[in-house]
Amino acid sequence: MAKSPDNSKSQKSSQAADTQAQPAQHIWLAGLGAMAKAQEQGTKAIEALVNDGLAFQRKSQAEAQQRLHEATERLSHIAHDFGQQTSGRVDRLEHLFEDRVAKALHRLGMPTLQDMHLLNERIARLEAQLAQPAPASSQRKAKASDAPSKKPAPSATTGARKTPKPKAAAPKTARRTAD
């Protein structure tokens, strides 16, 4: 088989095209390799960025919670102090008002609560004394005053007072009312 001159020209041109196509092919393949590397490293880079973002978010949230906690404590302390100051002022104002009202009632002659308690206790004691049965000596005195007998003359040792004698004879009813 002999080679035709046309064949050799076509072979030479195909070889020349292959040698020219090889660098373009290499560039194309290099581009595809770079894209694959970038895609592979891009996924890793994205994962690294996501992990860094999560760590930053956690750190930021922890710091925000800490600052919120500190602010809450400060505000709570301020509110507590303010409440104590206000309570103290209200107590002072209340005592001042009570004192002025008490003075005004005293000027008007109104009894105080303590006076009312003392009177109630005194009334309770008197009621208890009245409710007790009368002792035997007081019953005898009551019977002796009912009986028409002469009264013994008071002695100097008993310390009783002498009653003045009436100048004119008074009727019996008038004498009993005088006794």
118: its two tokens = 């003392």
Q: Is the dihedral of CA 156, 157, 159, 161 positive or negative?
A: negative
**Separation of alpha carbons 9 and 1, rounded Å:** 16
173: its two tokens = 């009813």
At 23 the pLDDT is 81
In this predicted model, what pLDDT tens digit does every residue of 82-98 receive, in sequence order?
Answer: 888 888 888 899 999 99
146: its two tokens = 């009912």
DSSP, res 159:
T
For the chain, give the mean pLDDT: 76
DSSP, res 132:
S
**Separation of alpha carbons 60 and 74, rounded Å:** 21
E-strand ranges in the chain read none
At 176 the pLDDT is 47
In this predicted model, what pLDDT tens digit does every residue of 116-150 receive, in sequence order?
Answer: 999 999 999 999 999 998 766 665 665 656 555 55
CB 115 within 8 A of CB 109: no
Q: 0.85 cut: is pTM over it?
A: no
CB 111 within 8 A of CB 117: no
